[in-house]
Amino acid sequence: MAESAVAVGTGQAVHVHHEELGFWRTYVFSTDHKMIGRQFLFLGLFMMILGGLLALMIRWQLAWPETQIPGLRWVPEPFMYDGAMGPEFYNAVFTMHATIMIFFVVMPILVGCFGNFLIPLMIGARDMAFPVLNMLSFWVGAVSGVIMLAGFFVPGGHAAGGWTAYAPLTAVTQYTGVNWGQNIWCISLILLGISSLMGSINYITTIINMRAPGMTFFRLPLVIWSLFIVAILLLLALPVLTSALAMLLFDRMLGTSFFLPAGGGEPLLWQHLFWFFGHPEVYVLILPAMGVASEVLSVFARKPIFGYRAMAYSMIAIAFLSWIVWGHHMFQSGMNPALATSFMVSTMVIAVPSAIKTFNWLGTLWGGSIRFTTPMLHGLAFVSMFVIGGLSGIFMASTPVDIFIHDTYFIVAHIHYVVFGGSVFGIFAAIAYWFPKLFGRMMNETLGKIHFWLTFLAFNGTFFPMHILGVGGHMRRIYNPMQYEFLQPLQPVNVFITVSALVLGIVQIPFVINFFWSLFAGKKAERNPWQANTLEWTAPSPPPHGNWGDTLPVVYGGPYEYSPPGVSEDYLPQTQSRVPHLAAAH
Amino acid sequence: MAGGTVADPVLDESGLHLTEVPPVVPPSPHEADLPPPSPPPRKEPFVSNARLGMLMFLAFEAMFFGGLLGAFLVFRLAAVHWPPPGQPYLPGVVTWINTGILLSSGVTMRRALRAIRDGNQSGLMNGLGVTALLGAIFLAVQGGEWVRLVRYGLTLTSGTYGSTFYTLIGCHGVHVLGAVVWLLVILLQSARYRFTARDHVGVQLCGMYWTFVVGLWPVLFGLVYLY
Ligand code: HEM
Ligand SMILES: [Cu+2]
């Protein structure tokens, strides 16, 4: 897949910089940040299909428990029994659905692909600071993905303790019967941490040291700000997960007792370490999408982003606060109520910068001349769905309410409003917006809009009713809701959700068609098809090796000068100084 | 396009034909700070790419040890008796001496760096050699003590006491080992006169890493052995 993408890429690149690197160096072991970005994109999209299929299997089981899933009769035991899922496999499936979606879809696409592709292009650099490290980052990530998938095929099945891998469930083989699956899960994520470390080092160094002349920090596009902050969060949060994973592996394989009460260990320690990483991690998933939304909203409302500095500062505030809220995942772990209250307060406080951002997006839209392109629609969906997810977050953040809804489908609804409604709509917006720069061709708008509207409807049909299930007491991660008498009246909701989810899966087909069709046959993109200001649009589409010809761009202004006074156009690229009326006339 | 400076096609597309940097106009509501009349020349970065990257790597390492130390402290602070009844005390005197050895290796590493900054090749080689030697001695002494502890019955499986001790100190040991190997590589390169007074990034990076593993030790020693 990756090769075809690149074939498009070189077509236009040749006449600027004629460099023959050969097939392997150009497409496979490339050190060009754009190629590495594309590689991450394809990795993420491939994994998204897998993760999506797993989700549909979960949904089928919940709507029509223990019935045959159409088309899956060929799957052998012990995975499926004549097409019906067994409980052990069900556990592995929901564990892997979340693991894949979080670590191998949203992170590779938002951070891996767009981080790599956009950072040098938007700050005016020719490449990342450490191109070879960058290549290694992708390949270590890809290997870790392969290892993760291999876990399905080991005896005992794949990890089945949830993506949060709570000990001691995950620390002792006897509890779940999963042996190598859990080990592989740990090893794969340790490797992914190393891949991410290499990425973070590159992103931070590049942004600090390699900005074009005139590109001050407060002229950086917000998406670069978000990626910068994400890189710092990942750099400092992932090692904590790595240490926890190492301890879990040692407990499993070497007989230590970090998380095992029998040897004096402490299961809650896992939760603390995991969520100390985990909460910054959820912001890793959402911040780049926030950045993407800021770009897209401003460009298509033809207005400067409302409160640029407030946007940057609120992201910084989120980054700081995200270190002190992890306990909100552990309210029901029996923690000291005074501690729970402080976590509740800090969590409510982190909602403030999130709200600032939301109001600023609304302020950006206010009075704009909005162009409802596909990326804009996804951007608008991002804002509105993030509001719903953020609000349900506030419910759960208040300890008395959380007693009732913790570990129910309310949480599942929240997760999906922020991660699908937020991050994935952000991904769709980003792909639609930067596709011309990534591949030199435009995506089809009609197909894009069809895909958007159907996805938007099916998404809400799938995830909104989960709030109802949750308030009704429907636990998450259960194999068969029909086993509980009090859940039986809610079963029609489960069926409705599953039907919506199936629709949601099917309506991704237009996206896939659009993606691949546009890759080969889309309209050729000009340099700046959206009349945007940021630097990537001053490079050819797609940019050649080295991004710009002989001279690098020089920056004179901020990234959001849309409809500026005194300029005949309704935008002012960052490479141009603000000019009076006269200078613009020709 | 080649050689195009300001008259890049980009500018043409937007309809503005500018051959010179245009004059500055009054501040717009969009951006408070005025664009500078001419762009500031690209400054030399405050910290070079390589050193910045290394600093980041060390931050990662610090957080990794932070996780392990956090786990240790959870058990240590909750324990009434530490070591738990029936478990051995950790070697005191030997480790004090060993701490001295490791810390002095930090000094010799500084010496090596100062030497190459003055272009003193033999000073560099001596410094690196002594540093590597001290590191190796530290590891050997640690290994010897581990053997004694294991003989005494303290293993990874001896509850949280053994788990935290071997994991933390073992992780540090692996880092020292890695650093010694790196030192040897640098030593080999310096024997081929790879480094000059002006360009010795390799030595600098290795020095930063060495400083980290040396500086981490007193923290571990204080918390795990003395506290
Ligand atoms: C206004 C901001 C937010 C608040 C106040 C908030 C609050 C919370 C709380 C209190 C929980 C724990 C509920 C429980 O388990 O009982 C939770 C879970 C979760 N949140 Fe958020 N959240 C916010 C934003 C986000 C964002 C932006 C994301 C991701 C992009 C996110 C992803 C998650 C995930 C994945 C979980 C579930 C983890 C699990 O147990 O599997 N949240 N949130
Ligand atoms: Cu959280």
Nearest CA to ligand 1 atom 8: A393
> Is the per-residue pLDDT at B132 higher than 70?
yes
The terminus-to-terminus CA distance of chain B in angstroms comes to 68
Residues with beta carbon inside 6 Å of ligand 1?
A 164, 282, 285-286, 328-329, 347, 351, 354, 390, 393-394, 396-397, 402, 406, 411, 414-415, 418-419, 422-423
Our CA dihedral for A265, A271, A276, A278, rounded to 10 degrees, sits at 140
Cα(A397) to ligand 2 centroid in Å equals: 9
Q: Which of A166, A414, A463 to probe ligand 1 with, by most ligand atoms within 8 A of CB?
A: A414
C-alpha dist (Å) from residue A209 to A121, A134, B42, B53: 14, 16, 10, 11
SS3 state at A562: strand
**How confident is the model over B19-48, as pLDDT tens digits?**
344 444 444 444 444 444 455 555 677 889
**Domains defined for chain B, CATH in brackets:** 49-226 (1.20.120.80)
Contact B68 A580 (CB under 8 A): no
Q: Is B17's Cβ below 8 Å from some Cβ in A?
A: yes
Q: List all residues 6 or more positions away from B122 whose beta carbon is below 8 Å from its beta carbon.
A: B115
Cα(A331) to ligand 2 centroid in Å equals: 11
Please, are residues A303 and A368 in contact by the beta-carbon 8 Å criterion?
yes
The CATH number given to A31-585 is 1.20.210.10
Q: Which one, of A236, A216, A243, lies nearest residue A554 by Cα?
A: A216
Q: Which residues surround ligand 2, an ion (CB under 5 A)?
A: A 279
Q: How far apart are CA A193 and CA B63, in angstroms?
A: 13
Please compute Rg for chain B using Cα positions: 27
Query: How many helices and strands, by DSSP H and E, does chain A display?
Result: 20, 2
Q: Where are the domains of chain A?
A: 31-585
Cα(A149) to ligand 2 centroid in Å equals: 27
- Could you tell me whether strands A84-85 and A80-81 are parallel, antiparallel, or unpaired per DSSP bridges? antiparallel
Q: Is B160's Cβ below 8 Å from some Cβ in A?
A: yes
Ligand at shortest distance from the CA of A279: 2
* Ramachandran class of B15: left when φ > 0, alpha when ψ lies in -120 to 50, beta otherwise: left
Q: DSSP secondary-structure letter at A75?
A: S
Q: Which one, of A560, A531, A558, lies nearest residue A305 by Cα?
A: A560
Please, are residues A567 and A39 in contact by the beta-carbon 8 Å criterion?
no
Tokens of A30: 């490339």
Specify the pTM: 0.91
Contact A208 B45 (CB under 8 A): yes
Please, are residues A188 and A200 in contact by the beta-carbon 8 Å criterion?
no
SS3 state at A158: strand
Contact A551 B15 (CB under 8 A): no
Contact A579 B5 (CB under 8 A): no
Helix (H) or strand (E) holding A27: none
- Largest Cα–Cα separation, chain A: 82
Q: Shortest CB distance from A586 goes to which of B17, B70, B167?
A: B17
**How confident is the model over A80-122, as pLDDT tens digits?**
999 999 999 999 999 999 999 999 999 999 999 999 999 999 9
Residue type, B174: V
Q: Shortest CB distance from B71 goes to which of A247, A263, A586?
A: A247
Q: List all residues 6 or more positions away from A578 whose beta carbon is below 8 Å from its beta carbon.
A: A556, A557, A561, A564, A566, A567, A572, B22, B24, B25, B28, B35
C-alpha dist (Å) from residue B175 to A22, A179, B109, B206: 38, 29, 16, 12
Q: Which one, of A463, A346, A479, lies nearest residue A410 by Cα?
A: A463
Contact A243 B67 (CB under 8 A): yes
Please, are residues A419 and A106 in contact by the beta-carbon 8 Å criterion?
yes
Q: Which of A192, A197, A228, A576 to mutate to test the interface with B (most CBs of B within 10 A)?
A: A576
pLDDT tens, chain A, 586 aa long = 333 333 333 333 333 444 567 888 888 899 999 999 999 999 999 999 999 999 999 999 999 999 999 989 999 888 899 999 999 999 999 999 999 999 999 999 999 999 999 999 999 999 999 999 999 999 999 999 999 999 999 999 999 999 999 999 999 998 888 999 999 999 999 999 999 999 999 999 999 999 999 999 999 999 999 999 999 999 999 999 999 999 999 999 999 999 999 989 999 999 999 999 999 999 999 999 999 999 999 999 999 999 999 999 999 999 999 999 999 999 999 889 999 999 999 999 999 999 999 999 999 999 999 999 999 999 999 999 999 999 999 999 999 999 999 999 999 999 999 999 999 999 999 999 999 999 999 999 999 999 999 999 999 999 999 999 999 999 999 999 999 999 999 999 999 999 999 999 999 999 999 999 999 999 999 999 999 999 999 999 999 999 998 888 999 999 999 998 878 888 999 998 775 443 443 3
Contact A250 B163 (CB under 8 A): yes
Please, are residues A298 and A291 in contact by the beta-carbon 8 Å criterion?
no
C-alpha dist (Å) from residue A507 to A51, A408, A422, A558: 16, 28, 18, 38
Backbone angles phi, psi at B87, to 5 degrees: -105, 150
Nearest CA to ligand 1 atom 22: A393
Nearest CA to ligand 1 atom 29: A282
C-alpha dist (Å) from residue A575 to A225, A237, A437, A460: 19, 36, 18, 41
